[in-house]
Amino acid sequence: QVQLVESGGGLVQAGGSLRLSCAASGRTVSYYTMGWFRQAPGKEREFVAAISWSGGSTYYADSVKGRFTISRDNAKNTVYLQMNSLRPEDTAVYYCAASKYSSTVIAGEYDYWGQGTQVTVSS
């Protein structure tokens, strides 16, 4: 079993930056694909970014490409999401997830989920 805990969310002005962290416990996630998803009020959960187990491959939603960077530190069992140039439309609850599938961006293929952290971007 894997437990995921997100942190680093908060309130930021448009154009600002935040760094989300996702700490895993219970089992190493070194061989899992790790992903970030988000859900805004009244909207479905959507893919944001994913990183392969080695960190060698990364994937981004078009809406965040060039602004967000996903990374991981397997020694610390932690995944990060650096978010720059934030926009009001980035406001959502951000979820960390772990998948045994290789490099998937599909929410249904993720096995473990965190509780989420709120990110609010004011205009």
Confidence at residue 12, expressed as pLDDT on a 0 to 100 scale:
98
Q: What are phi and psi of 99, to 5 degrees?
A: -130, 140
Confidence at residue 4, expressed as pLDDT on a 0 to 100 scale:
97
Q: What is the mean pLDDT of residues 42-47?
A: 96
**pLDDT exceeds cutoff 90 at 1:** no
CA distance 45 to 54: 25
Residue 55 contacts by C-beta under 8 Å, 6 or more apart in sequence?
Answer: 71, 72, 74
In 3D space, the residue among 46, 65, 55, 42 whose CA is nearest the CA of residue 105 turns out to be 46
By three-state DSSP, how is residue 16 classified?
coil
49-95 pLDDT per residue, tens: 999 999 899 999 999 999 999 999 999 999 999 999 999 999 999 99
Q: What are phi and psi of 111, to 5 degrees?
A: -95, -30
Q: What is the mean pLDDT of residues 85-111?
A: 96
Confidence at residue 57, expressed as pLDDT on a 0 to 100 scale:
95
Q: What are phi and psi of 88, to 5 degrees?
A: -55, -35
CA distance 106 to 40: 17
Question: Band of the pLDDT at 28, cuts 50, 70, 90?
Answer: confident
Number of C-beta neighbours around residue 121 at 10 A: 20
Q: What is the mean pLDDT of residues 114-122?
A: 98
**pLDDT exceeds cutoff 90 at 27:** no
Mean pLDDT of the chain: 96
